[in-house]
Amino acid sequence: MITVKNINSIGWLNCADGSINLTPCIDDCGMAKFVNISRDEFEKVRGDKMLMKQKAAEVLNQKTHSNIETFVVVGRVSDEDDIMLFIDAVKRENAIEEFLKSVKYEQHWDGNSDIYIEFCIPLSKHLKNHVYTNNDTNETCCIEN
């Protein structure tokens, strides 16, 4: 269970959909976690680091109890460069669905080009110091319209 004491620092980022990502740095983790909250929720804690930490801990603890995992998803539209997203989802299919929405927007999908998902695993199952090849993660999807 994450408490305010586990959060060393916190910031926030505006999201394109109007929501806010709180960015708590937890314990010795070198990277902030993204904790998405509504703009209304943010306005209640804005400017107060302690309240922001409490809100982040509350949301993170809810995720822990609801079996939400963070998936690492890599893919692209046809001939574009790969993009990588960290997506919170209950299951792989939900992560792929969210990735498809993002990649279509980010890479200006024309409605006809193929979309490839080359990598989609829960971060908790990601092996440290392991070089992943297509053979390890080859569940490449080709989305056609």
How do residues 62-107 score in pLDDT, each as one tens digit? 865 567 788 889 999 989 999 998 888 888 888 999 899 999 988 9
Residue-level pLDDT at 144: 46
The most distant pair of C-alpha atoms in the chain lies apart, rounded to whole Å, by: 50
Q: Which residue has the higher pLDDT, 51 or 111?
A: 51
How many beta carbons lie within 10 A of that of residue 3, not counting itself?
A: 10
